[in-house]
């Protein structure tokens, strides 16, 4: 018999230093809760489950228990569906307080039965605050039998100081059931694991039992429905399995198979008497109860370190994956900015339509032939052209606009496409792209109009620069000869023709453009001012392009940001864990437990 309840751990109550520990735990809980771990990675799902479990256990169990160490002991009856958990609870109480049944799974929502004097501890949201409360008869399985509620049944036959909770099955086909069962077990001061002779070696229960071992959770195992002739062999085998898994100290109760004609019939008193007696003794001995509570509490608190560290490692992984994705986008968009820069400097923008319009504007045949000797005449021609017609620069400007826009758009499209291609080969990137792959593979819808606006704004800026430069007395008169618009246009052309890069006839013509525009500008402003003006205009243009590309790149950055942890998340998490560990070790209330007081009974 498992009656050996150890003497109490005296003197601890005075030394409770829980407030600091609770505070540190709250800080840690918030850190864990705030983590975004939504990048697709091999460990992401497990880490998210661990994250949810950690937060839930702090809220459901650790904080309430730290704050009220004297609250009644909560024994959660958990196990596989049909193991007879509900039947066991009813049999222990000696009344039908929860619904048992042939339908699998029967129990959907937890039913908690306690002494009426203890009801206040459970009726409010002290523990399991997310579950709303219902009360009344739980045996009909109406109210209280849904996942989101805790059905509280006060019953005089339950000894004070101890509550029994009938949980949904741990290996349910119903996901919600399974998760809830795990959550309830994490909120238990004592686990009463119910299994059957047919199913005690199943994998899922053993995963949870090992977890109980790792967390030093106080544990009793009920082996139900054992054929009388197999009691000895089966219970020995299970006891060996428990010992092999480090659970030698768990109390084992064996209940032989009996005939139950009705689905809500209870087990014979004699079959549950040992467990009932054990629980009654635990309930009656405040010190033994406190020791069970402290053992489980201490084990759960100690388990935080390893569990949070595992989550922190996943945070590291996700941060590394996020950095990689951001770097790739960054790199391709930097390439795009360089592409535009090169295009601007090499004169690419001046090809085709722009040249044609420029030739129309100044008369290129003349221009190329007479450039050297007759620059003066060219200047006059430009001047005449400008003063002769109200908006003569428009055609060249439009051609320039569209050529420049094509250059920038091609760069932006290229960067988007290359980023998508690079992301697609990474699982995290692929998952982020998802259905957006096509949309993200080219520049955004808003890009074109914004680009057009920016190019026009840039042209305005060039005219401003020209006008500013013209503010100097010496140049004002000369500027007047040409007109600000024409000079501005020539300044724009100068921006795109400062270096070579064209070939053949184009070189000649564009060279002519370069020389012509420079000559015109020099004539107006003087040599150094021309270069300065062109450089200023170019810088302004490239700055605008970089801003535009940054906005485009942000589409990718935003996806990463929305899924990955904050950049300082790992540091913050580890600092919070350190703070918590310090508080835990300093808390003498949680001095090393000497015993759970529960031993294997056969
Ligand atoms: N013959 C016999 N039937 C039992 C015994 N224990 C439970 N049953 C029956 O098995 C069925 C399932 O029992 P429950 O107590 O509802 O099982 P449970 O573990 O609560 O199942 P879930 O709520 O689905 O997780 C019920 O119809 C019980 O009457 C037993 O020892 N002997
Ligand atoms: Mg049940």
Q: Tens of pLDDT along 15-72? A: 445 569 999 999 999 999 999 999 999 999 999 999 999 999 999 999 999 999 999 9
pLDDT value of position 370:
37
pLDDT value of position 287:
93
User: Which structure tokens are listed for 185?
Assistant: 């077990």
CA dist 218 and 215 (Å) reads 9
Least confident of 197-201, 456-460, 496-500, 565-569: 496-500
Nearest CA-CA partner of 428 in 318, 554, 566:
318
Ligand 1 pocket check for 81: Cβ under 6 Å: yes
Q: For residue 145, what pLDDT band results from cuts at 50, 70 and 90? A: low
Average pLDDT over the chain reads 83
Ligand 1 pocket check for 83: Cβ under 6 Å: yes
Residue 88 CA, ligand 2 centroid: distance in Å: 9
pLDDT value of position 397:
79
Every domain of the chain with CATH number 3.40.50.300 lies at 19-314+575-601
* Percent above pLDDT 90 for the chain: 59
Ligand 1 pocket check for 106: Cβ under 6 Å: yes
Q: Which residue out of 77, 79, 82 has the highest number of ligand 1 atoms within 8 Å of its CB and is therefore the one to mutate?
A: 82
Q: What stretches of 484-568 show up as alpha helix (H) in DSSP? A: 484-496, 504-525, 527-563
CA dist 12 and 16 (Å) reads 7
Judge contact between 247 and 213, C-beta under 8 A.
Answer: yes
- Strand order from edge to edge, sheet including 149-154: 132-135, 149-154, 111-114, 162-166, 73-79, 190-196, 218-226, 251-256
Structure-model confidence comparison of residues 3 and 343, the more confident one: 343
CA angle 97, 60, 40 (to 5 degrees): 120
pLDDT value of position 143:
43
Ligand 1 pocket check for 467: Cβ under 6 Å: no
pLDDT at 257 over 80: yes
| pTM for the structure as a whole | 0.81
Structure-model confidence comparison of residues 480 and 277, the more confident one: 277
**By alpha-carbon position, which residue is closest to atom 12 of ligand 1?**
82
CA angle 196, 201, 204 (to 5 degrees): 95
Ligand closest to Cα of 101 equals 1
Enclosing H/E stretch for 362: helix 353-362
Neighbouring CB atoms inside 10 A of 240's CB total: 11
User: Which structure tokens are listed for 126?
Assistant: 């002290």
How do residues 182-205 score in pLDDT, each as one tens digit?
899 999 999 999 999 999 999 888
Ligand 1 pocket check for 53: Cβ under 6 Å: no
- Dihedral sign for Cα 285, 291, 294, 300, please: negative
CA dist 506 and 41 (Å) reads 53
Residue 269 CA, ligand 1 centroid: distance in Å: 16
Q: So what CATH class is 19-314+575-601? A: alpha beta
Ligand 1 pocket check for 175: Cβ under 6 Å: no
CA dist 203 and 241 (Å) reads 12
Q: For residue 146, what pLDDT band results from cuts at 50, 70 and 90? A: low
Residue 87 CA, ligand 2 centroid: distance in Å: 7
pLDDT at 133 over 80: yes
CA dist 1 and 9 (Å) reads 23
Around ion ligand 2, residues with a beta carbon closer than 5 Å are 85-86, 106-107
Q: What is the mean pLDDT of the segment spanning 267-277?
A: 95
Residue 107 CA, ligand 2 centroid: distance in Å: 4
Nearest CA-CA partner of 552 in 413, 405, 429:
413
Residue 231 CA, ligand 1 centroid: distance in Å: 19
Q: Which atom number of ligand 1 is nearest to the Cα of residue 225?
A: 31
CA dist 78 and 547 (Å) reads 59
User: Which structure tokens are listed for 378?
Assistant: 């060219």
pLDDT at 10 over 50: no
CA dist 98 and 90 (Å) reads 6
pLDDT value of position 23:
95
Residue 137 CA, ligand 2 centroid: distance in Å: 15
CA dist 590 and 436 (Å) reads 52
pLDDT value of position 198:
93
Ligand 1 pocket check for 257: Cβ under 6 Å: yes
Ligand closest to Cα of 193 equals 1
Per residue, the 3-state secondary structure of 9-33, as one string, reads: CCCCHHHCCHHHHHHHHHHHHHHHH
Least confident of 144-158, 161-175, 432-446: 144-158
DSSP state of 157: T
Residue 105 CA, ligand 2 centroid: distance in Å: 7
Ligand 1 pocket check for 295: Cβ under 6 Å: no
Q: What stretches of 169-285 show up as alpha helix (H) in DSSP? A: 175-186, 203-214, 231-244, 269-284
pLDDT at 459 over 50: yes
DSSP state of 59: I
Residue 416 CA, ligand 1 centroid: distance in Å: 60
CA dist 457 and 501 (Å) reads 27
Q: What is the mean pLDDT of the segment spanning 474-498?
A: 65
Q: For residue 141, what pLDDT band results from cuts at 50, 70 and 90? A: low
Ligand 1 pocket check for 171: Cβ under 6 Å: no
3-state secondary structure of 191: strand
Ligand 1 pocket check for 100: Cβ under 6 Å: yes
Q: For residue 392, what pLDDT band results from cuts at 50, 70 and 90? A: low
Least confident of 63-72, 408-417, 512-521, 578-587: 512-521
């Amino acid at each position: 018999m498992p009656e050996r309840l150890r003497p109490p751990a005296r003197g601890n109550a005075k030394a409770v230093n829980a407030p600091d520990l609770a505070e540190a735990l709250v800080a840690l809980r918030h850190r864990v809760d705030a983590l975004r771990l939504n990048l697709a990675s091999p460990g992401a799902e497990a880490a998210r489950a661990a994250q949810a479990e950690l937060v839930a256990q702090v809220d459901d169990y650790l904080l309430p228990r730290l704050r009220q160490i004297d609250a009644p002991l909560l024994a959660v009856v958990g196990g596989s569906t049909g193991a007879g958990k509900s039947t066991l609870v009813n049999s222990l109480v000696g009344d039908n307080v929860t619904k048992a049944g042939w339908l699998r799974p029967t129990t959907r929502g937890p039913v908690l039965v306690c002494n009426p004097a203890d009801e206040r501890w459970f009726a409010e949201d002290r523990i399991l605050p997310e579950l709303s409360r219902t009360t009344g008869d739980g045996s009909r399985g109406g109210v209280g039998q849904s996942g989101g509620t805790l059905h509280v049944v006060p019953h005089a036959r339950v000894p004070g100081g101890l509550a029994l909770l009938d949980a949904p099955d741990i290996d349910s086909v119903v996901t919600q059931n399974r998760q809830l069962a795990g959550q309830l077990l994490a909120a238990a001061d004592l686990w009463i694991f119910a299994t059957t002779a047919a199913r005690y070696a199943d994998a899922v229960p053993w995963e949870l039992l090992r977890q109980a071992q790792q967390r030093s959770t106080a544990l009793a195992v009920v082996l139900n429905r054992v054929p009388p002739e197999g009691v000895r062999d089966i219970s020995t085998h299970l006891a060996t399995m428990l010992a092999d898994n480090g659970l030698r100290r768990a109390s084992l109760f064996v209940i032989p198979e009996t005939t139950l004609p009705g689905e809500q019939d209870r087990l014979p008193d004699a079959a549950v008497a040992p467990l009932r007696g054990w629980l009654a003794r635990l309930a009656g001995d405040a010190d033994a109860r406190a020791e069970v509570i402290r053992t489980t509490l201490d084990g759960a608190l100690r388990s935080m370190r390893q569990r949070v560290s595992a989550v922190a490692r996943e945070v590291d992984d996700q941060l590394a994956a996020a950095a990689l994705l951001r770097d790739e986008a960054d790199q391709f968009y930097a390439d795009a900015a360089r592409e535009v820069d090169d295009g601007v400097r090499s004169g690419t923008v001046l090809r085709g339509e722009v040249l044609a319009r420029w030739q129309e504007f100044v008369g290129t045949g003349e221009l190329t032939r007479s450039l050297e000797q007759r620059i003066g005449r060219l200047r006059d021609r430009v001047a005449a052209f400008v003063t002769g017609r109200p908006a003569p620069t428009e055609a060249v400007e439009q051609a320039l606009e569209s050529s420049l826009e094509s250059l920038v758009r091609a760069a932006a499209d290229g960067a988007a496409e290359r980023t998508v291609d690079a992301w697609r080969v990474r699982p995290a990137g692929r998952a982020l792209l998802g259905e957006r792959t096509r949309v993200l593979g080219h520049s955004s819808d808003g890009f074109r109009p914004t680009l057009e606006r920016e190019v026009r704004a840039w042209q305005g800026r060039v005219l401003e620069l020209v006008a500013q430069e013209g503010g100097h007395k010496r140049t004002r008169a000369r500027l007047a000869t040409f007109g600000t618009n024409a000079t501005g246009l020539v300044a724009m052309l100068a921006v795109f023709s400062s270096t070579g890069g064209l070939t053949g006839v184009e070189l000649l013509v564009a060279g002519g453009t370069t020389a012509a525009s420079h000559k015109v500008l020099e004539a107006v402003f003087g040599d150094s001012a021309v270069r300065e003006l062109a450089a200023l205009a170019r810088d302004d243009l490239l700055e605008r392009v970089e801003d535009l590309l940054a906005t485009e790149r942000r589409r990718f950055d935003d996806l990463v940001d929305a899924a990955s942890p904050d950049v300082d998340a790992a540091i913050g998490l580890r600092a919070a864990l350190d703070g918590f560990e310090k508080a835990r070790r300093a808390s003498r209330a949680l001095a090393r437990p000497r015993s759970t007081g529960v031993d294997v009974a056969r």
